[in-house]
A and B are shown apart, each in its own frame.
Chain A
Amino acid sequence: MTAPALDALDALESESIHIFREVAGEFDRPVILFSGGKDSTLLVHLAVKAFAPAPVPFPLLHVDTGHNFDEVIDFRDTLVERLGLRLEVAKVQDYIDDGRLVERADGTRNPLQTQPLLDSIVEGRFDAVFGGGRRDEERARAKERILSLRDAFGRWDPRKQRPELWNLYNGRHAAGEHVRVFPISNWTELDVWRYIQREQIELPTIYYAHQREVYKRDGMWLAEGPWGGPRGAETLEQLSVRYRTVGDGSCTGAVESTATTLDEIIAEVTASRLTERGATRADDRMSEAAMEDRKREGYF
């Protein structure tokens, strides 16, 4: 008798759980990079399932740009409390305050996250850093390994990647180097939403349609905040919007939407003609190789 093939979501879940367990078995100090967005919330959900009924054997690290949506910070703190996890926070604001980093002319802080991230990895002596990156997000990410070696400067060299065969992950690294781990590499945006629906995973409320004052810049709907607001001819409008990604408030755009349930969101994602990054991330539009360049410098 032949067993039926696993359903696609079951196959992806099992692969991700396998990756979490491999890293827990082979590394001394792993950490999950956590932004409060849907992908890192999915990571935490999978980590919980990988080690249940025991607790997740590693902490979370949030690189906080200071440009946050209040709903996301509330969500983060509630999640950490409910699951009994340990959370460490590295603040971009601290770096700006003491002069180690300088605010960019465009006010965007996503590229400023790299330095606090690398410092936190060194200070925490973390040897494996889980991230919610997916290969379907962007062309440079499509070439990233599931276990991706970073040198002592946190840099990614796409030409020196190790071949990754079967489900045998080679995580060997020298002292001072670390490995970035992407357990949901093979998931697509739609897989993530379908799984969130199937597992009833709670998300920050900004992922669902809500009324918000927004203004249009470069074809994206941005919210007013400590990072700034409308300039020149830009004006605030009250719209029903939701977010497809959660990042730095200054460069994360909302999309017009009335989707208040997961069914409605999945219907919208299925019908969407834009990728989530193209639609809502100003930082990824900067250049043809924006992501590759940031990854080489140590960004996620």
Chain B
Amino acid sequence: MSRDLLRFATAGSVDDGKSTLVGRLLYDTKSVLADQIEAVHRASVDKGLATPDLSLLVDGLRAEREQGITIDVAYRYFGTPVREFVLADTPGHVQYTRNTVTGASTAELAVLLVDARHGVVEQTRRHATVLALLRVPRLVLAINKIDLVDYDEAVLTAIAKDFAGLARSLGFPDDAVQTIPLSALVGDNVVDRSERTPWYDGPTLLGHLESVPVVAPEANAPFRMPVQYVIRPRTEALHDYRGYAGQVASGTVRPGDAVVVLPEGLHTTVSSVDTADGPLASAAAGRSVTILLTDDIDISRGDMIVAAGAEPRVTTEIDATLCWLADKPLRPGARLLLKHGTRTTQVIVGAPECRIDTDTLTEVEAETLGLNDIGRVTLRTADALPVDDYADIRATGSFLLIDPPTGNTLAAGLVGSPLALTPLTPLAP
């Protein structure tokens, strides 16, 4: 039987019990095996704990176990008979934007944790803002530790209402958010339905993850494919074979499609959508293929093949939203490298136009952007780039800013202003 793959991310503040939730998902889906469980039991006994600490299943680095915190994004894998899951587990402390952006960038769904005793807090707003900015299509609000509020429906209703207001301000449609009351520690409503929440008739977390449709928004967008590599066998039998290798970034490509090669703007036609297993009748977003064209034109890595008549704009001036990921702040006027699709080019970054205050969802003045900041800038690139707004096509609307001397990734960039903000009143301290 064919199973599909759901990539999702978890986000939450320190002590919301995220590692325990992830441990619980793995444990209750029997994705951790006897030797791993035995190791956790041993370590829990060593720490003097009465019950096994499931967070030890996921906190893998020495420093994490010593400090009892999660340092870095970790990827987890589990499966059920209907679906496979890739989970990006993103810690909520110091580098929260960096970690949440990383996890959200490949996620089709995000599980946002709040503590039932505290409800929506400042961190929740920050995380939800990043998830909205990155255009994660679906959210689960997991209200954790319901055992600590005596399974009180009124508490849950109040938190859900509070969060619905936030989600609407960030532009999430109502049907994109599922609220689930649960206890990761005890196991209520994670994999098994709890008898202690008779007032809750929604799905368990796993039930929801298994049944939510996996449809990337890019599937219905116009065709785009950055060229990664030119395949030329240069053998006698395949003397004229010249294929353009890449992963379909959006839309669908078929033999006979009229396409344009950017940035040059050359018009041609797809003659074949090839793979090692033979040609395909069509290839959709996510599929790695080799495209053959009817015309013999000069194409190389960094070019982009796109649907004719639905082309991205080709420009050297880009209005963008940046998530600053590095300790070293943005220096206005800095000359950096920009990686977009398969092309890396030089870029001059202008002064920030504003910074987004994630507590009030308003734009505030900023002279620079530092670690965890989100702000808007204008960029000037050395080479013209074919870009879409990130809100329309994530794959062709995203880029990295790289520090030339160290090679470090400084910022995640999103073309345009993917976040439509409705201001909120600040949370009471």
Contact = CB atoms under 8 A, between A and B. Distances in A.
Interface of A: 2-3, 5-8, 10-15, 17-18, 21-22, 24-25, 48-55, 135-136, 138-143, 149, 158-159, 161-168, 170, 172-174, 185-186, 188, 190-191, 272-275, 278-279, 288-289, 292
Q: How large is the interface on B (under 10, 10 to 19, 20 to 34, 35 or more residues)?
A: 35 or more
Given A8-B84, A21-B228, A288-B43, 5 more contacts: A11-B5, A167-B395, A168-B399, A278-B33, A278-B34
B362 interface: no
Contact of A8 (B4, B102, B342): B4
18 contacts: A6-B286, A11-B286, A15-B288, A50-B276, A52-B276, A54-B234, A139-B58, A139-B61, A161-B72, A163-B99, A163-B102, A165-B101, A165-B102, A168-B340, A188-B77, A191-B84, A273-B34, A274-B33
Nearest to B227: A25
Interface string B109-144: 000000000000000000000000000000000000
A275 B228 contact: no
A93 B262 CA distance: 53
Interface in B53-72: 57-63, 65, 71-72
Of B43, B102, B395, which is in contact with the most chain A CB atoms at under 10 Å from its CB?
A: B102
A5 to B, nearest CB: 4
Contacts of B65: 288
A170 B339 CA distance: 8
Contact of A163 (B232, B241, B395, B412): B412
Contact of B288 (A13, A149, A161, A288): A13
Contacts of A275: 33, 35-36
Contacts of A3: 219, 252, 282, 284-285
A17 B395 contact: no
Main secondary structure of the interface of B (DSSP, over half): mixed
Interface stretch (B189-197, B199-207, B400-408): B400-408
A55 B219 contact: no
A5 B36 contact: no
B211 interface: no
Given A53-B233, A164-B102, A165-B398, A139 B215 contact: no
A272 B33 CA distance: 8
A135 B246 CA distance: 25
B409 interface: yes
A48 B231 CA distance: 12
Contacts, number: 189
Contacts of B228: 18, 21-22, 24-25
A50 B287 CA distance: 12
B247 A167 contact: yes
A287 to B, nearest CB: 10
A62 B130 CA distance: 44
Contacts of B34: 273-274, 278
A149 B402 CA distance: 15
Nearest to B106: A166
Contact of B400 (A52, A168, A186): A168
B39 interface: yes
A21 B5 contact: no
Nearest to A293: B62
A12 B35 CA distance: 27
A159 B61 CA distance: 10
Contacts of B286: 6, 11, 14
A190 B79 contact: yes
Nearest to A1: B220
Contacts of B235: 53
B287 A14 contact: yes
B400 A170 contact: yes
Contacts of B400: 165, 168, 170
Across the A-B interface, give the 9 residue pairs with the lowest CB-CB distance, nearest first: A139-B60, A278-B35, A172-B407, A49-B276, A52-B276, A3-B284, A17-B288, A14-B288, A8-B5
